[in-house]
Homo-oligomer: A and B are copies of this chain.
C-alpha cells in the first residue's frame, strides 16, 4: 500500500514531468518545500517499488505503474478542485490547498460520486485536464498568451499555477478559463501585454502572462 507521502511524491513528479523532461531531486524538493536529502531517500524507496526509474544524479522518470498511480492522485486532486469550486463555492485561488489535503483520503466510491455529481468534467477550475477513471488525459494543444500576435483574439484555456496570489489577481480581472481576450499591444523585451476582456482593458505583466495558456476561439475546449 502507498502512504500519503508516496502518493504525493508521484503527483509532484508527474506534474514536473508535464513541463520538464527530467524530474530532478531539487525540483521535487522545491515543489514540496522539503530538503533535497529527504527526496533522495524517498525516491529510492519508490524506485524499489518499481513506481519510478531512478539512476543517481539523473533525476527520475515514472514507470507505467507509477504514472497510473500519479494519474489517480491527479484525478482526485482536480476533481476535488472542481467540486469545491462548483458545489461549495470555494474561490479558485484556494481550491488547490484544500484539494492537496483531501486528495489522499478520498475513497474511490466518493471519487465516483463527486465525478457523477459534476457530470464527469474533464477540466478543473484552472483549465487543467482531469484524467479519466482509467487514466486517460485529454490534452489540448495550447500556447502561451505571450506568443499571441497583436490584434488576435483568443480564449483562456489554462492557468496552471498554484500561487494563490496570482490566481486571486487573475480572478479579479475575470481571467478564468473560457474568457475571451483580445491582445491589443505587446511591449517589447518581455514587456507587459495590453489586453481587452469582458469590455475592460488592462495590462498584464510578463510574470503573470507566462502562466496563461490560450487557444484560438471556438477551438473545442469549453
Contacts and interface: CB of A to CB of B under 8 A. Distances in A.
A105 B109 contact: no
Interface stretch (A6-14, A85-93, A129-137, A181-189): A85-93
Interface residues of A, number: 16
A113 B98 CA distance: 13
Main secondary structure of the interface of A (DSSP, over half): helix
Integer count of this chain's copies in the complex: 2
Contact of A109 (B94, B101, B117): B94
20 contacts: A84-B110, A87-B87, A87-B117, A88-B110, A88-B113, A88-B114, A88-B117, A89-B113, A90-B109, A90-B110, A90-B113, A94-B109, A98-B107, A98-B109, A98-B110, A101-B105, A101-B107, A102-B102, A102-B105, A105-B105
Given A89-B113, A94-B109, A98-B109, 4 more contacts: A88-B113, A88-B114, A88-B117, A102-B102
